[in-house]
Amino acid sequence: MAPKARRVAVVDDDPGVLRALRRLLSAANFEVEAYSSGSEFLLAARDSELDCVVLDLHMRHTSGFDVQARLSQRGGTVPVVIITGDDTPEARARSLSLGAKSYLCKPIDEVALLAAINSASSGLHNAETPRS
């Protein structure tokens, strides 16, 4: 019997990034759920069924910070990997303090992202990549 594919939600308001990450993760044998906004993810996703969330930090309306806070309020334990194109020390510190397992800067290094997802879904903590 084949092992169950891990489920990863990708949340990003950039359609090109969302498409590329979906393609990458599908090719890496993840079951991918794609959401184009934080509010769409919060309304539709069942975080208890997810192994990881790849979450853009800066989105219109409902930011990655908002999503992290809501997941925490709901008592969620799904690991979160933050991705951002607007890295600041404050954003990095805030997202990690809200429980992000990893913080990656765009453009995303594919190997680093896959390692971060594997690490987060395995219970390892706080992997970061340097700014590009």
What is the CATH number for 57? 3.40.50.2300
AA identity, residue 122: S
Model confidence band, residue 5 (pLDDT cutoffs 50, 70, 90): confident
pLDDT of 10 over the 90 cut: yes
Model confidence band, residue 47 (pLDDT cutoffs 50, 70, 90): confident
Number of domains in the chain: 1
pTM of the model: 0.90
Q: How far is CA 122 from CA 6, 17, 34, in A?
A: 11, 25, 21
Decide if 106 is inside a domain: yes
Q: With beta carbons less than 8 A apart as the criterion, state whether 38 and 67 touch.
A: yes
**CA 119/CA 127 separation, integer angstroms:** 8
AA identity, residue 5: A
Decide if 1 is inside a domain: no
Q: With beta carbons less than 8 A apart as the criterion, state whether 38 and 62 touch.
A: yes
Decide if 99 is inside a domain: yes
Decide if 2 is inside a domain: no
pLDDT of 72 over the 60 cut: yes
Decide if 109 is inside a domain: yes
> Is the four-CA dihedral 99, 102, 105, 108 of positive or negative sign?
negative
Name the strand (E) or helix (H) holding 31: strand 31-35
Decide if 121 is inside a domain: yes
Structural domain of residue 107, as residue ranges? 7-128
